């Protein structure tokens, strides 16, 4: 997954939309698989449509942040969702990807900066 981090935002909102962030937080709190309707019921914002939650889950699935299983039910089928990574794993992968991009783009300048920055912090 290519992660375009918005450094002007804090936490998950630097990577995800506010709704995607809320949905993922709900999945982390409730570690079992959940259906769209259950997640929708837990979204605290008023006026969020069920279809908006379904679209957010589809986007998170495309980003490989949630797993999706199709289950047959009365009247057809439905998906159940679960998070593929916990919060700390996701945050670590975001930081790692960002640092690697800086090193790829700026090479030794980035490496030297990190060395200087972290050597000053240890003192």
How do residues 33-59 score in pLDDT, each as one tens digit?
999 999 999 987 778 999 999 999 999
Q: pTM for this one? A: 0.78
Which residue ranges make up each domain of the chain? 15-84, 85-123
CATH code: domain 15-84 is 1.10.10.10
Residue 16 backbone phi and psi in degrees, to 5: -120, 160
Strand residue runs (E) in the chain: 34-35, 66-73, 76-83
- Is the confidence at residue 74, as pLDDT, over 90? no
């Amino acid at each position: 997954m290519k992660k375009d981090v918005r450094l002007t935002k804090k936490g998950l909102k630097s990577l995800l939309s506010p709704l995607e962030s809320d949905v993922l937080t709900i999945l982390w709190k409730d570690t079992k698989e959940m259906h769209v309707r259950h997640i929708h019921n837990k979204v605290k914002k008023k006026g969020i449509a069920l279809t908006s939650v379904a679209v957010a889950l589809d986007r998170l699935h495309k980003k490989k942040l949630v797993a999706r299983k199709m289950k047959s039910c009365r009247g057809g089928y439905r998906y159940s969702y679960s998070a593929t990574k916990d919060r700390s794993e996701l945050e670590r992968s975001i930081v790692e990807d960002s640092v690697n991009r800086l090193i790829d783009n700026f090479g030794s300048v980035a490496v030297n900066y990190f060395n200087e920055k972290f050597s000053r912090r240890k003192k």
